Structure 1
């Protein structure tokens, strides 16, 4: 009876282990899937980084449009708007030269944003991507629009 019990244990043990060929095929499958998964993960990180920059640029443009629309100092309104745009996006290095400000209908030197006009601020920014998987750079644009009036 002891021998039969020992044989049954051996048989049960032998069938519970996968063949060595099955172990090799799962290693090959893993090696084929990992690069594809890594590309997907890196792509998600790249797009997330670009999307974050897009959100910050849009918020900076909106903030600059607000500054133009409510500024009580006409001669400093445009400079203050550019400074506000740069400060509104702390993790994105905005070049003040890329902050484009337009008022429609156009204001005067004494009143750059007359009541009833619309201040539009557009910022174009080139984002340097992290890995180069989606290219070296990506251009994002943000636009803010506010109605003028103090």
Structure 2
């Protein structure tokens, strides 16, 4: 009977050795997904803030500054090159000051989020988009 117990302990150790890598991959995946979800939320909120500033104040430089402030917690920081502002339904590069009608502005942030561990690669591209009718 003593021999049977020692054999079972060896089998348990082997089973544990098979399961540990799977558990570690699962744990790392949960951490990476949670971080990506948090960054995506920050990008979406920053895009909404930036598009609101652009639609109401009609100043692309100000809208970019609002985005950078709203996404200040991100590392690496969001740059102006990652922020795209476009007027939809109009012919001008900015919102018309009067009679906007259906003209809207769209602000898109493209952000290369680095992985925390590097286990799944180096980075993933995330985007945040906001759309608002010109002049509110």
- Normalising by the smaller structure, the TM-score range is 0.7 to 0.9
Pick aligned residue for 1:96 from 54, 59, 80: 80
Runs of 4+ more than 3 Å apart: none
What is the deviation of 1:90?
2.4
- Find the residue that maps to 2:24 and give its secondary structure: helix
- Find the residue that maps to 1:91 and give its secondary structure: coil
- Find the residue that maps to 1:106 and give its secondary structure: coil
1:1-150 mapped onto 2 (5 Å cutoff) = 19-71=5-57, 74=58, 77-92=59-74, 93-104=77-88, 105-107=90-92, 112-114=94-96, 115-116=100-101, 117-149=103-135
Q: TM-score, normalised by structure 2?
A: 0.85
What is the deviation of 1:130?
1.2
Total equivalences in the alignment = 128
What is the deviation of 1:64?
0.6
- Find the residue that maps to 1:19 and give its secondary structure: helix
What is the deviation of 1:107?
3.5
Q: Larger Rg: 1 or 2?
A: 1
Q: Contact 1:106–1:113 (CA<8 Å) still a contact in 2?
A: no
Unaligned runs of 5+ in 1: 1-13
Structure 1 vs Structure 2 CA RMSD: 1.8
